[in-house]
């Protein structure tokens, strides 16, 4: 155990966890990384490409190395940074990307083969022989290179989403963020303060600085206590704001229960969509390392991370040897002092500056650079080179401090280009970033505690002033205010491999090679070397890499420029992006009014858009769907059937100009329809092709009810509103959907009238009083208001009866009961389809967007007397000249199935595009005729009755000889309808 005194861990509780099967213990407040270090574990994984042993480098979300698998079974989660995984009792963690044992990874051979894996190797190697790629190279690379393994099964946890609105979103809860939130909170603004950590405070938690002479945690707790009392402030700990979107919309993930073994009955994570009038980015800064030969050994960390582990988590890596510091900056000296204060021996501070001065009682090597390291699985010592030679220093850990890079990420999400600040020696947020996003504190280079506090408060005031909210000047605590003092040191020159990007295994040599191969623009450098393209997006690597490139090209860093960051800031799980709705709740379902009845009958259901419709109603003994469907079809043709047709879109059209409005929407005349009558209507698209069909019932002079197909209900309504609002707002007409309000049941078959007579309240259903295409409002079953339409989709005498939706189920049951002696039969969508094919009615397969009214045999429905949507374009040459027509098709041998989608050819003709005569649109078995039938479009079809053509299905290599017949397989004269 390497526990120091102090720290922000709760020593009163012990948490037990395992890493690679070995049991360890830690405390609440620990991360997996801090607990492993406290247990003396430094080796945490293997690198991506070369399988080099790796340990933790950082103490935060920028971690490139310590990626582990957490949990097991279906909760197994790869590539979690040990530095942000909160420890809980029973946590299971495993290292990843090795073969055999972590400490004896068999794939470490890759490291010896490194000359073959140089920059751009993806593009250069494994290119030949070509056939080897798929069979040999790719599988081998996939096995060797990679990260963790995902769970095989479905994620058992729940996720959800939510929406927040604020005047000011503060991103990051360190010194600047807390000052910003407090300023805005006291101003009464609606504030959200989000921080990725479980605890607010940012670097204040990691440093030893005092605020007003007391530990920083005291001030933090005071601020949080005050913020908690403000109803206008929302605190979101464990929440990463991962992206900025247009107009002040921010994506954030709250890890609600990642710190618990399981979320239980709650959610694991919440996806927040935050709409904020202004935002303050107070995301702090990330420390730079300094590449030198073999700088990737476990035990070599960022200096700031060493301080964080010592101050916050009371631990230090390297148990048996002292710690060394490598710096070009005063920061390194602070690390030495903090470690010494916690009782950690310091071997030396190696400062590259010749004029460096020791700030305490430790050995200083001024003008020195670390030029190498030793130790197989953990650091044992370093080589230090000065003007006078090279010295070996034994140490168990090395803290490297190369200065700080402001966390500009979110400010570059709208192509905002960071700009180089020579004084700071860093990129700071530039112009052109997301509107409404202001940057404060270390994220724009104001890194001392005092500067960050003041800047957070000031930027919040500026942001609120833009919203005309005056914020008070708040009292800030006395804080450390040392000006940054240091130089930049981008890498230590030398022969060995010096790592720049740890996660993707990119070295200084790789950058030099890219330079040699002329991949010099930063975007090319990035892609050629894969630098910054790992899961950490190069948070610890990018700036160093382009500085090295600048050095090689002899340009300044400002001239070299930088790449920009995309969302997400850190990885976001697909599960939380999905928002949690899975399985049957994946999307809303719409149930028909007779759903209870259909389920009681054991109906099979089919999804039609969002609707769940009864597909067929199997009876005991029926083992194949065709048996049920054939029986249902025959019942309609012989007796009477019932089908829920509520799903057809219904639109109520009212107003003095309702008739004129419908005249312009439908290709045929609707204004001339008599009250109490229904007319079939055809809508065209403005380009002249057939769009949708339905019926139009005139209930009163200024009141119509129109129906649409089920599939197009929403679209047609949208188009009707477009016509009303955008084309002809001068018309006096109002629209509202009534699809859900009325349950509508088709009562179809020769006995339909007999059945309905049993439920209507003294309404005369005789042909004379209520002929084909009549409609009426009436009452049924002793006073219930209803609407009756004498329309038919099946070709039989038929009605559709509508009642308020809540009565739909009871009406269905009543009709079943009243019609028992008439052979009444419920039928589903399959029988509905068979009935309409037998009758030759067009449906979705015929109204496919490529059909003209003439092709459907409805050419006469396009009125030549008036304008309507699509009328003009339907008359243009290409459409008017269309000669394919809807025909019926029957197999010449009387039994062969006619495949849907088959193309039609003249007998003896070649089978190619030039000779194509049309295609089969709909096909089924006709129980009425006892053989397969089909509908299709055939060139000149109306003049080719009785001709035999070929229905070819080249996909399966089959052909069927089919005879062309009328598309009306039953009752072509329409006598049944009018009976």
Question: Given the complex with another protein, which of 607 and 893 has the nearer CB atom?
Answer: 607
8 Å CB contact between 183 and 282: no
In the list 394, 533, 669, 810, the residue contacting another protein (rule: CB under 8 A) is 810
By CB under 8 A, how many residues form the interface with another protein?
A: 86
Distance CA 59, CA 306 (A): 8
Is omega for the bond preceding 68 within 30 degrees of 0, making it cis? no
Cα 146 to the chain's mean position, in Å? 23
State the pairing for strand pair 903-906/948-953: antiparallel
- Tally of residues, the chain: 979
Angle in degrees, CA 22, 28, 34, rounded to 5: 55
Report the nearest approach of another protein to the CB of residue 237 (Å).
Answer: 10
Distance CA 566, CA 547 (A): 21
8 Å CB contact between 205 and 247: no
Question: Given the complex with another protein, which of 232 and 340 has the nearer CB atom?
Answer: 232
Report the nearest approach of another protein to the CB of residue 810 (Å).
Answer: 4
602 binds another protein, rule: CB under 8 A: no
Count of CB atoms situated within 10 Å of the CB of 345? 14
Q: Determine the interface stretch with another protein among 113-121, 157-165, 355-363, 541-549 (rule: CB under 8 A).
A: 157-165
Report the nearest approach of another protein to the CB of residue 10 (Å).
Answer: 12
DSSP string across 790-831: ---SSSSSEEEEEEEGGGHHHHHHHHHHHTGGGT-EE--HHH
Q: Determine the interface stretch with another protein among 307-315, 725-733, 790-798, 846-854 (rule: CB under 8 A).
A: 725-733
Report the nearest approach of another protein to the CB of residue 809 (Å).
Answer: 5
In the list 164, 608, 677, 897, the residue contacting another protein (rule: CB under 8 A) is 164
8 Å CB contact between 8 and 31: no
Q: Take residue 242 and report the two structure tokens written for it.
A: 């991962």
Question: Given the complex with another protein, which of 629 and 778 has the nearer CB atom?
Answer: 778
Residue matched to tokens 């001065």: 357
Residue matched to tokens 């002079």: 701
Distance CA 538, CA 526 (A): 10
Q: Determine the interface stretch with another protein among 103-111, 113-121, 587-595, 615-623 (rule: CB under 8 A).
A: 587-595
- Residues 241-270 contacting another protein, CB under 8 A: 245-249, 256-257, 260, 263-267
Question: Given the complex with another protein, which of 481 and 732 has the nearer CB atom?
Answer: 732
- Residues 674-703 contacting another protein, CB under 8 A: 686-687, 702
Distance CA 492, CA 551 (A): 12
In the list 104, 566, 619, 718, the residue contacting another protein (rule: CB under 8 A) is 718
Q: Determine the interface stretch with another protein among 287-295, 589-597, 617-625, 881-889 (rule: CB under 8 A).
A: 589-597
8 Å CB contact between 603 and 787: no
- Residues 433-472 contacting another protein, CB under 8 A: 435
Report the nearest approach of another protein to the CB of residue 109 (Å).
Answer: 47
Question: Given the complex with another protein, which of 263 and 345 has the nearer CB atom?
Answer: 263
State the pairing for strand pair 210-211/323-327: unpaired
Question: Given the complex with another protein, which of 701 and 909 has the nearer CB atom?
Answer: 701
8 Å CB contact between 399 and 552: no
Q: Take residue 704 and report the two structure tokens written for it.
A: 């119509």
Cα 522 to the chain's mean position, in Å? 29
Report the nearest approach of another protein to the CB of residue 24 (Å).
Answer: 24
Helix-, strand-, coil-residue percentages of the chain, each rounded to 5: 25, 30, 45
Report the nearest approach of another protein to the CB of residue 551 (Å).
Answer: 36
Q: What separation, in Å, do the N-terminal and C-terminal C-alpha atoms of the chain show?
A: 95
Question: Given the complex with another protein, which of 276 and 933 has the nearer CB atom?
Answer: 276
Question: Given the complex with another protein, which of 389 and 588 has the nearer CB atom?
Answer: 588
Distance CA 447, CA 481 (A): 9
Cα-Cα-Cα-Cα torsion 53, 59, 62, 66, nearest 10 degrees, comes to 30
Is omega for the bond preceding 129 within 30 degrees of 0, making it cis? yes
- Residues 14-33 contacting another protein, CB under 8 A: none
Check the CA dihedral 123-127-130-134 and report its sign. negative
Distance CA 840, CA 972 (A): 9
Distance CA 822, CA 747 (A): 12
Question: Given the complex with another protein, which of 143 and 718 has the nearer CB atom?
Answer: 718
State the pairing for strand pair 323-327/397-401: parallel
Question: Given the complex with another protein, which of 118 and 741 has the nearer CB atom?
Answer: 741
**Inter-helix orientation angle 508-516/542-553, to 10°:** 40
In the list 139, 156, 162, 771, the residue contacting another protein (rule: CB under 8 A) is 162
Question: Given the complex with another protein, which of 121 and 691 has the nearer CB atom?
Answer: 691
610 binds another protein, rule: CB under 8 A: yes
- Residues 272-331 contacting another protein, CB under 8 A: 273, 275
In the list 611, 616, 799, 969, the residue contacting another protein (rule: CB under 8 A) is 611
575 binds another protein, rule: CB under 8 A: no
**Phi, psi for 887 (deg, rounded to 5):** -130, 165
- Residues 624-683 contacting another protein, CB under 8 A: 646, 652, 654-656
Distance CA 801, CA 745 (A): 5
- Residues 815-874 contacting another protein, CB under 8 A: 867, 871-873
Question: Given the complex with another protein, which of 476 and 780 has the nearer CB atom?
Answer: 780
Report the nearest approach of another protein to the CB of residue 887 (Å).
Answer: 30
Q: Helix, strand or coil for residue 460?
A: helix
933 secondary structure, DSSP code = E
Question: Given the complex with another protein, which of 619 and 806 has the nearer CB atom?
Answer: 806
State the pairing for strand pair 784-789/775-780: antiparallel
In the list 72, 74, 553, 725, the residue contacting another protein (rule: CB under 8 A) is 725
Report the nearest approach of another protein to the CB of residue 510 (Å).
Answer: 36
- Residues 727-786 contacting another protein, CB under 8 A: 727, 729-730, 732, 734, 736-743, 759, 761, 780-785
The beta-strand segments (E) located in 751-893 are 775-780, 784-789, 798-804, 825-826, 884-891
Q: Determine the interface stretch with another protein among 103-111, 208-216, 344-352, 798-806 (rule: CB under 8 A).
A: 798-806
Report the nearest approach of another protein to the CB of residue 772 (Å).
Answer: 26
- Residues 385-444 contacting another protein, CB under 8 A: 435
Report the nearest approach of another protein to the CB of residue 816 (Å).
Answer: 13
Question: Given the complex with another protein, which of 456 and 649 has the nearer CB atom?
Answer: 649
Question: Given the complex with another protein, which of 256 and 285 has the nearer CB atom?
Answer: 256
- Residues 34-53 contacting another protein, CB under 8 A: none
Report the nearest approach of another protein to the CB of residue 611 (Å).
Answer: 7
Distance CA 94, CA 41 (A): 13
Report the nearest approach of another protein to the CB of residue 67 (Å).
Answer: 27
Report the nearest approach of another protein to the CB of residue 564 (Å).
Answer: 17
In the list 211, 805, 837, 977, the residue contacting another protein (rule: CB under 8 A) is 805
Question: Given the complex with another protein, which of 215 and 655 has the nearer CB atom?
Answer: 655
Question: Given the complex with another protein, which of 323 and 658 has the nearer CB atom?
Answer: 658
User: CA nearest 406: which of 223, 219, 174?
Assistant: 174
- Residues 56-115 contacting another protein, CB under 8 A: none
- Residues 217-246 contacting another protein, CB under 8 A: 245-246
Q: Take residue 597 and report the two structure tokens written for it.
A: 């009845």
């Amino acid at each position: 155990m390497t526990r120091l005194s102090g720290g922000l861990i709760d020593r009163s509780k012990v948490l037990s966890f395992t890493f690679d099967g070995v049991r360890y213990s830690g405390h609440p407040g620990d991360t997996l990384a801090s607990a492993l270090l406290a247990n003396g574990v430094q080796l945490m994984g293997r690198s991506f490409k070369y399988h080099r042993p790796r340990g933790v480098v950082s103490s935060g979300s920028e971690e490139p190395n310590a990626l582990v698998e957490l949990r097991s079974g279906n909760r197994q989660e790869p590539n979690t940074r040990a530095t942000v995984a909160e420890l809980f009792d029973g946590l299971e963690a495993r290292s990843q990307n090795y073969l055999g044992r972590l400490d004896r990874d068999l794939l470490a051979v890759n490291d010896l083969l490194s000359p073959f894996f140089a920059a751009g190797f993806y593009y250069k190697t494994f290119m030949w022989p070509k056939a080897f790629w798929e069979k040999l190279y790719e599988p081998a690379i996939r096995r060797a290179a990679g990260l963790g393994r995902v769970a095989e099964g479905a994620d058992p946890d729940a996720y959800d989403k939510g929406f927040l609105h604020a005047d000011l979103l503060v991103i990051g809860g360190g010194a600047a963020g807390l000052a910003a939130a407090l300023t805005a909170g006291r101003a009464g603004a609606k504030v959200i303060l989000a921080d990725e950590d479980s605890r607010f405070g940012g670097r204040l938690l990691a440093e030893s600085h005092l605020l007003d002479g007391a530990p920083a945690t005291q001030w933090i707790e005071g601020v949080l206590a005050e913020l908690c009392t403000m109803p206008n402030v929302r605190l979101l700990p464990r929440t990463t704001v991962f992206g900025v979107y247009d107009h002040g919309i921010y994506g954030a993930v709250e890890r609600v229960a990642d710190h618990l073994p399981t979320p239980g009955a709650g959610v694991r994570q919440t996806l927040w969509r935050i709409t904020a009038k202004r935002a303050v980015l107070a995301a702090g800064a990330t420390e730079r390392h300094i590449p030198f030969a073999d700088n990737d050994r476990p035990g070599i960390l960022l200096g700031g991370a060493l301080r964080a582990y010592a101050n916050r988590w009371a631990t230090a890596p390297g148990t048996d040897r002292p710690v060394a510091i490598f710096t070009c900056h005063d920061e390194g000296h602070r690390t030495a002092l903090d470690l010494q204060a916690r009782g950690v021996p310091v071997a030396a501070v190696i400062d590259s500056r010749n004029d460096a001065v020791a700030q305490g009682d430790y050995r200083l090597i001024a003008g020195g650079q670390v030029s190498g390291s030793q130790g197989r699985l953990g650091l044992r010592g370093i080589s230090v080179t000065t003007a006078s030679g090279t010295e070996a220093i034994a140490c168990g850990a090395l803290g490297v401090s190369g200065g700080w890079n402001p966390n500009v990420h979110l400010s570059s999400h709208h192509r905002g280009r960071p700009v180089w600040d020579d004084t700071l020696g860093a990129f700071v947020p530039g112009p052109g970033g997301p509107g409404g996003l202001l940057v404060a504190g270390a994220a724009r280079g104001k890194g001392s505690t005092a500067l960050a506090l003041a800047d957070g408060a000031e930027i919040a005031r500026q942001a609120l002033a833009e919203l005309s909210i005056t914020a008070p000047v708040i009292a800030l605590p006395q804080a450390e205010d040392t000006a940054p003092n240091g130089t930049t040191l981008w890498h230590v020159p030398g022969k060995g491999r010096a790592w720049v990007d740890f996660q993707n295994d990119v070295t200084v040599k790789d950058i030099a090679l890219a330079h040699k191969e002329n991949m010099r623009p930063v975007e090319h450098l990035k892609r050629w070397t894969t630098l910054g393209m790992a899961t950490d997006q190069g948070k610890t690597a990018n700036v160093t890499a382009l500085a090295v490139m600048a050095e090689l090209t002899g340009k300044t860093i400002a001239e070299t420029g930088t790449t920009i960051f995309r969302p997400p800031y850190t990885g976001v799980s697909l599960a939380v992006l999905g928002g949690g709705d899975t399985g049957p709740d994946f999307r809303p379902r719409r149930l028909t009014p007779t759903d209870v009845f259909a389920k009681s009958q054991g109906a099979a259901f089919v999804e039609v858009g969002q609707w769940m419709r009864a597909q067929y109603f199997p009876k005991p003994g029926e083992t194949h769907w065709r048996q049920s469907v054939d029986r249902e079809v025959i019942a309609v043709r012989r007796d009477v059937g019932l089908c829920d047709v509520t799903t057809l879109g219904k639109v109520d059209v009212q107003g003095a100009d309702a008739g004129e409005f419908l005249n312009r929407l439908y290709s045929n005349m609707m204004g001339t329809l008599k009250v109490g009558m229904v007319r079939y209507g055809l809508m065209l698209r403005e380009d002249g092709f057939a769009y949708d069909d339905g019926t139009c019932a005139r209930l009163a002079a200024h009141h119509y009810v129109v129906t649409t197909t089920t599939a197009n209900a929403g679209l047609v309504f949208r188009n009707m509103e477009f016509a009303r609002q955008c084309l002809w707002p001068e018309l006096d007409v109002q629209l509202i959907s009534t699809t859900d309000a009325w349950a509508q049941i088709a009562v179809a078959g020769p006995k339909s009238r007999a059945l309905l007579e049993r439920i209507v309240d003294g309404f005369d259903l005789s042909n004379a009083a209520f002929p084909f295409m009549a409609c009426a409002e009436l009452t049924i079953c002793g006073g219930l208001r209803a609407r009756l339409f004498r329309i038919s989709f099946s070709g039989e005498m038929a009605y559709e009866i509508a009642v308020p939706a809540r009565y739909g189920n009871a009406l269905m049951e009543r009709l079943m009961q009243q019609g028992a002696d008439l052979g009444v039969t419920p039928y589903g969508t399959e029988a509905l389809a068979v009935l309409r094919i037998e009758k030759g009615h067009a449906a979705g397969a015929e109204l496919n967007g490529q059909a003209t009214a003439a092709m459907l045999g409805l050419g006469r429905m396009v009125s030549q007397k008036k304008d309507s949507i699509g009328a003009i374009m339907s008359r243009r040459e290409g459409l008017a000249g269309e000669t394919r027509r809807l025909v019926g098709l029957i197999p010449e041998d009387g039994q062969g199935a006619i495949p849907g989608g088959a193309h039609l050819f003249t007998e003896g003709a070649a089978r190619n595009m030039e000779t194509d005569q049309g295609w089969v649109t709909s096909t089924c078995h006709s129980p009425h005729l006892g053989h397969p039938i089909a509908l299709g479009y055939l060139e000149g079809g109306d003049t080719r009755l009785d001709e035999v053509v070929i229905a070819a299905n080249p996909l399966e290599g089959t052909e069927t000889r089919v005879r062309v017949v009328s598309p009306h397989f039953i009752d072509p004269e329409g006598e049944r309808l009018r009976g």
